Amino acid sequence: MLTDVMVGALFGLGLFILVRALVPSRPGATAQVAQIDALRARGQFGAPAPGGDSLRERIGWRIARFYASQGWQQRSIRADLALLERSWQQFLVTKVGLGALGFVFGPFFFALLWLVGLHLTPIIPVWLALAVGGLCFVLPDVEVRRDATAKREDFRRVIAAYLDLVSMNLAGGRGLPEALTSAAEVSDGWALRRVRDCLTDARLAGVPQWSALGELGTEIGIKELTDLGAALNLVADDGAKVRASLASRAETMRRRELAEMEGKAGARSQSMLVAQMLLCAGFLIFILYPATVRIFQMR
C-alpha cells in the first residue's frame, strides 16, 4: 500500500512539473529584464535566431529563457562560468542532458539486475532514477565550482602583482588610466588579458577604467577587484592616495595568500600524519595477527 502511494505521489509530482514547465506563465519585470540582457549579450534585440545555430544552442536558449521566466538568477554559478569563460546556455544544456541520462540509467541498471536474476521490489527503479538523475544533474555544478575556485585563486595572485605594477607606474609620473593600461600589458597571461580587455572596452565606451574593473570583479566574483574599483573611484584624483591605497591592498592580498598557503600546508601535514598512523596500525595488525590466532588455537 505504501509503495503504491509513493509511486502515485511521484508520478503526480512529475506530471505537475511537466505541465508547469510547458504552460507559459506571465513573465514578471525581473524575467523581462533578464531576457533583454540575454538578447543584448547575444547581439540580438528582437531578431530571430540565426540559421547557423545548432540544436544544442537552441535548446540552451530555451532552458535559459525558462530559468529567467521563473526568476532563477543563479548569480554564483554565473560568476563562476564568466570566470571560466563558459556559456550559461551550454552549461544548462549539459545539466539537463546529464540529468535525463541519469534518470534513464537508473531503470536500465534495474533491468540488468532483473535479467541477472536479482529480483527487487518495483519501487527500486524509481529511487534509482531519482538518485542517479539528481546526482548527474548536480555534477556540472560541482565541476564548475571546483575549476572556478582554482582559477579565482590564480587571478588573485596576478591582481596582487598587478597592483604593485600600477603603483610603480604611478610613482614614475604616469596618470592612473595610463598606469592601469601599461601594467596590464606586461604579460599575455589569461588574467592580465582579461583585465586588459576590460580596460580597452572601458576606454572605447567612455567610462572610467576603475569602474570597469569593479564591474569585472562583480561579474567574475572577485571581491578584491570590486573593492579596488570602488576605492579608486573615491581617490582617483589624488595620486599619492592612489599609490598608498594600491600598495596597501597588494600587501594585504599577499599576506592573505600566504596565510591560506600556510593553512593548506598544515592541513596536508595533518592528513599525511593520519595516513602514516593508519599505515603503522595496519603493519602492527599484520605482525600481531598470526601470533594472536596461534594463541587462540592453543586454547
Question: Is residue 297 scored above 70 in pLDDT?
Answer: yes
- How sure is the predictor about 224, in pLDDT bands with cuts at 50, 70 and 90? confident
The residue that leads in pLDDT, 127 or 214, is 214
- The model's pTM: 0.66
Q: Report DSSP state, residue 50.
A: P
Handedness of CA 126, 129, 133, 135 (dihedral sign): positive
Read off the pLDDT of residues 66-75 as tens digits, 9 standing for 90 and up.
777 777 778 8
Q: Which long-range contacts (CB under 8 A, 24 or more apart) does 185-192 make?
A: 189/158, 191/154, 191/155, 191/158, 191/159, 192/158, 192/162
Read off the pLDDT of residues 234-271 as tens digits, 9 standing for 90 and up.
766 665 677 777 777 778 877 877 887 778 788 788 78
Read off the pLDDT of residues 8-38 as tens digits, 9 standing for 90 and up.
666 676 666 656 655 555 555 555 565 565 5
Residues 64 and 53: their CA atoms lie apart, in Å, by 15
Residues 244 and 242: their CA atoms lie apart, in Å, by 5
Read off the pLDDT of residues 125-175 as tens digits, 9 standing for 90 and up.
777 788 888 888 899 999 999 999 889 888 888 888 888 888 888 887 778
Residues 237 and 243: their CA atoms lie apart, in Å, by 11
